[in-house]
Amino acid sequence: MSAQRPSGPAHDGVAITTPGLLLLATVAFVTEVALFVGVGVVAYEVLGGGERSVGAFAWLVAGTAAVVVLWGLFMAPKARRRLGVGARVAIALLLCAGTAAGMVATGWTWWGWFVGVAGLAVVAAQTVLHEPGRVPQAPEGD
């Protein structure tokens, strides 16, 4: 008889069973959303000239959409073509650092620091917590 997976939210196919893991997953999610929006803001400021125009807004939407789609395809826990942990960590590190620097340079200082610091914390945690935990098997005969 095989053991049942614990119920609850899952990350990397592993149930989040402790408050610490739930907190980490929540921080990671909030950081990812800030990262996605941050890329859009940098695209708006740099490529759109920071002016309130349809073109600048289009860059904001296009930048955010591109990162969301690529993240969903290659980086998300349930991505069908998920990259290996080394590639994911390197890409997340570059994306967080680049987005943070771009935000600070374009005047979004507080958000830039948030994306940078929280992003690096999540990347560091991924280097340690990337291995899926094992679900204990029920003893045979029970």
Mean pLDDT of 88-94: 90
| CB 7, CB 142: distance < 8 Å | no
Output Rg (C-alpha) for the chain, integer angstroms: 18
pTM of the model: 0.72
pLDDT digits (tens, 9 = 90+) for 25-80: 788 888 889 999 999 999 898 887 777 888 888 888 998 999 999 999 998 888 88
Contacts of 16 (CB under 8 A, 6+ apart): 8, 9, 10, 22, 25
